């Protein structure tokens, strides 16, 4: 896997865990809506502090930017996180497809390592 794909997989797991940890909304219990919103905004603030996410909530919706993936929702911060998961999984699928299509100059198709390319990369890193 490439670093971008690995990072996105890790962040998908992290955002998914934060979504699953949100308190449930109970129909007719107004406090549950408030607790859910506050918890989702706390989760977004934690993602901002630990992962560099950027988010904002305005009258027309919430936008989340994390690891180059942008999503939004007019239905609140939790839904913006859910939409981010969908967008991140689509990005992973695209990156993996691009990586599978990669063939090095020696005819080796990803994900298998090419010893010649690895050796050349090691030589480039030396002073």
pTM, to two decimals: 0.80
The predicted-structure confidence for 98-116, as pLDDT tens digits, reads as follows 877 777 777 777 666 778 8
Q: CA 68 to CA 5: how far, in whole Å?
A: 12
Q: CA 72 to CA 121: how far, in whole Å?
A: 40
Res 104: pLDDT? 78
Whether the CB-CB separation of 71 and 84 falls below 8 Å is answered with yes
The predicted-structure confidence for 3-47, as pLDDT tens digits, reads as follows 689 999 999 999 999 999 999 999 999 999 999 999 999 999 999
Residue 125 has pLDDT above 60, yes or no: no
The predicted-structure confidence for 52-99, as pLDDT tens digits, reads as follows 999 999 988 999 999 999 999 999 999 999 999 999 999 999 988 887
Whether the CB-CB separation of 53 and 65 falls below 8 Å is answered with yes
């Amino acid at each position: 896997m490439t670093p971008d794909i690995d990072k996105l997989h890790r962040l998908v797991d992290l955002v998914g865990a934060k979504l699953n940890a949100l308190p449930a909304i109970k129909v007719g219990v107004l406090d549950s809506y408030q607790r859910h919103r506050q918890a989702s905004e706390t989760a977004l603030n934690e993602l901002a502090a630990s992962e560099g996410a950027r988010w904002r909530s305005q009258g027309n919706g919430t936008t989340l930017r994390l690891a180059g993936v942008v999503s939004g929702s007019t239905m609140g911060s939790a839904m913006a996180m859910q939409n981010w998961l969908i967008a991140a999984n689509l990005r992973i699928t695209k990156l993996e497809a691009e990586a599978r299509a990669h063939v090095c100059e020696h005819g080796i198709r990803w994900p298998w390592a090419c010893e010649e390319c690895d050796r050349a990369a090691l030589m480039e890193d030396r002073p």
